[in-house]
Structure 1
Amino acid sequence: MEQIVQTRSVPVMGSYDVVVCGGGPGGWVAAVAAARAGARTALVERYGFVGGMATAALVVPISVFTYNGQLVCGGIPWEFVQRMVEADGAEVEHPLGNISHDPECYKLIAQRMLLESGVDLHFHAVLTGCVREDSRITHVILDTKSGPRALEAKYVIDSTGDGDLCAMAGVPMQENTMPLQPPSLCFCIGGVDTDALELIHHEKQGLNYHNLRVQTKLRELAETEDVPVFGGPWFCSIHRDGRVMVNMTRTPADMLDPAQATRAECRLREDVHAFVALLKKYFPEFKNAELLFTAAQTGVRETRHIKGEHVLTGEEYLNAVHFEDAVSRGAHPIDIHTAGDTTQKCQFLKNAAYIPYRSLIVPGFDNLLVAGRCFSADQVASASVRVQASVMGLGQAAGCAAAQCACAGTSVHKADVHTLQAMLRKWGALI
């Protein structure tokens, strides 16, 4: 492949205690946590809004806040849920604690919390590199419409989901032992008879809310008609009458490969229109339905997994091992989707699990924390923690830890975990 060499002078536009890369569920919560803990904080996001999978990819509901009748994801994430409910933009699906929400309300309430906390927002900025000096990342490099920019950072948090900052800095990655889970393009349908459509409120523990009636019919139709490969399907309330968010497309793709990602986006968009036509034709609840919009980006379930100080295993997770350095919880089932067919492995937990602080840090990197689905876990544990409430908990822990380390001037490996846990509990975390 032909190579070119590019040399650029990059202006440093700001200096921060904490720079968070990625404004998804883990990232924006990490930024709020760091700022509330006293750190001068910046958040970098490629879109003009935050929320990531919840807003750009239209992933509804936010899962899972409650398990076995008890709240397991508290603090800033639960405050956010309550504020959305107060704004009539969300509904808590009791007793499980999945959160039906309007993505537009999500964007607004999260933005308000960031600005109220004093976070500097750097929207429309794409992370393209970093400067590493020995064990520290000193700057993150961004591309904007006005050219390249750099932010100086005492501590950095990778909340890109795909572990982009980690990859740029040379963080070691795990080798995947199973095929990658497939991406899906979610879409919103209006004009649906939501009173007649079952399983749109995901409220009961131990129940997979895929619609078996629709699934069975689609499999029958596939014998005589062109039915794209699908998962579920899952029909989800967005707290608005007549509208449902649909999660059913899937295709094999490594979304780190631009060529594969492009093919996947094109394939899935074709499939969305095919599914809308099938739903309108064969299912009375959808006879007056219309496609309102597709997600701005395809939802990604799995790419990189960093090799952190501790790799959380599926066995530890399923057994709810209570680590001494536990900083967050998870309660979603082990949820593994198959790329090439309609199957899914869904294993429910007996008890809500714990995530250790050591899974957010990396040997050899003194000022880096990771808050997102790329954190240090094997593919089994990650298949649960990758969902939004769990990732928000990781963000809350990482942001608080980064601020404390910035105040003490210490490595993330020498953080006072007991002090960190005390602050998280004061905020409402249940660890």
Structure 2
Amino acid sequence: FDLRRRCAAVLEAAHQRGDIGLYGGPYPATFSGRDVYFNATRFPGDSTDPADWTQAEIQGRQDAWTMFELWQAELPEFADAYFMSSGPTAGARESRRIVGDYVLTGDDVAEGRRHDDVIVLGAWRLDRHPPQAAGYHHIPWTPPYDIPYRTLLPGKLENLLVAGRCHSATSEALASSRVTATAMGMGQAAGIAAALAVRNNTTPRQVDVQQVQAHIVETGGILEAPAAAQVDVGDPRW
């Protein structure tokens, strides 16, 4: 936490001087005792606009190098550091989403709500990165919660399943459900449901969700949190 605090102080001073624009965190993580990964760049754009996306690719790389050079110059532990790599492309935390048979809400996440048609167990925090602000933001912890199969079904279309960051959820709920592991679980459920629909000559909306759930569990999926994971929001252990 001391490293994070000092890295953040360097970026805040640079931001105040106008040397760097918006940034997030930073959130460092160490690997192999020597390598440090940073989640820190931020670009407030529209990911459906090619011009914005292009600028995000350019600005993100420029900002990553600027941050590295600032830390190298001002923090002694980075004096001999070198830049290994950066992300291959910009990542959009949020963009277009469907309106499905059920819309996952922030209350669903915050209250750890259960659903009979659960196909993924969500466990990430309500991690809403403010697009127009720099630095850290409040990230409330949440209990495990269910993501219903209905959030994969577009409300006005048949024969379509939508998984991942574009599933049916409010902006607040997506702050949790958008993360990679949860999106992978939705993709697995969608694939199983599609296979069952073809096998049974039916539509995804008519698929027996219990069969989907059974296949998920058989392949190692977790649809119910163990008792040890049932931690109330505000628990002092967090």
TM-score between both structures, scaled by the size of structure 2: 0.86
Q: What are the equivalent positions in structure 2 for 1:22-41 lying under 5 Å apart?
A: none
SS at match of 1:389: helix
Residue 335, structure 1, aligned to residue 127, structure 2: yes
Residue 228, structure 1, aligned to residue 21, structure 2: yes
Shift of 1:221: 4.4
| Counterpart residue number, 2:198 | 406
Q: 1:430 to 1:223 in 2, by over 3 A?
A: closer
| Counterpart residue number, 2:137 | 344
Shift of 1:225: 6.3
Shift of 1:360: 0.5
CA distance in 1 between partners of 2:210 and 2:178 (Å): 25
Given candidates 380, 392, 416, the residue that maps to 2:184 is: 392
Shift of 1:416: 0.5
Residue 420, structure 1, aligned to residue 219, structure 2: no
CA distance in 2 between partners of 1:415 and 1:256 (Å): 32
Q: What are the equivalent positions in structure 2 for 1:66-145 lying under 5 Å apart?
A: none
Given candidates 326, 336, 341, the residue that maps to 2:118 is: 326
SS at match of 2:194: helix
SS at match of 2:96: coil
In proportion to residue count, which structure has more helix? Answer: 2
Contact 2:120-2:148 within 8 A present in 1 as well: yes
| Counterpart residue number, 2:153 | 361
CA distance in 2 between partners of 1:368 and 1:198 (Å): 48
Q: 1:225 to 1:423 in 2, by over 3 A?
A: closer
| Counterpart residue number, 1:213 | 6
TM-score between both structures, scaled by the size of structure 1: 0.49
Residues 336-365 of structure 1 show CA distances to partners (whole Å, capped at 9, x for unaligned) of 11122214231110x211100000111333
CA distance in 2 between partners of 1:231 and 1:223 (Å): 14
SS at match of 1:263: helix
Aligned identity (percent) is 35
AA matched with 1:400:
I
How many residues end up aligned between the 2 structures? 222
Residue 257, structure 1, aligned to residue 49, structure 2: yes
CA distance in 1 between partners of 2:26 and 2:2 (Å): 12
Q: 1:428 to 1:225 in 2, by over 3 A?
A: same
CA distance in 2 between partners of 1:326 and 1:361 (Å): 13
AA matched with 2:115:
F
Residues 307-340 of structure 1 show CA distances to partners (whole Å, capped at 9, x for unaligned) of 1111111111211111011111111111111122
SS at match of 2:28: strand
CA distance in 1 between partners of 2:2 and 2:188 (Å): 35
Shift of 1:224: 4.4
AA matched with 1:409:
N
In structure 2, list runs of 5 or more residues that go unmatched: 224-238
Residues 355-396 of structure 1 show CA distances to partners (whole Å, capped at 9, x for unaligned) of 000001113332211111110000111110111111111112
CA distance in 1 between partners of 2:16 and 2:199 (Å): 63
